[in-house]
Amino acid sequence: MKKMNLVTEKKDRGIILTKVPPKKPYTKDQFFKSTVLQLKGASGGMDKNFVYNNIVERGNRLRNQGVSRKEVIGIIKKAKTAHGDWLRNTKKRELRQRMK
């Protein structure tokens, strides 16, 4: 039996109980996208220690849901590669604009 949270709302005629669905799990795709975004922030000037700690914290969130450590590290490596590609393409665009 699933556990549902109940939230009370005060209406004109009394208290109404509404069901709140359980939280959705944190997915690997969400982790990948947030990791790429965090790495972009680090390359843009954010505090690198803060960014890396945040990535580890989100990775631990996935680990608590049953994803293996090896898989989390693989997602981080994939995000790092995607970030490197993005950064390289951004630099190329800047160079092209300067040459015009």
What the block records as the tokens of 87 is 């950064």
18 or 14, higher pLDDT: 18
| pLDDT(7) > 70 | no
Given pLDDT bands bounded at 50, 70 and 90, which one contains residue 4?
low
* E strand intervals along the chain: 5-11, 14-20
Taking only the tens place, the pLDDT of each residue in 37-71 is 999 999 989 999 999 999 999 999 999 999 999 99
Domain boundaries, the chain: 24-99
The type of residue at 87 is L
- Helices and strands: H and E segment counts in the chain: 3, 2
Rounded to whole angstroms, how far apart are CA atoms 31 and 64?
13
Taking only the tens place, the pLDDT of each residue in 24-38 is 889 999 999 999 999
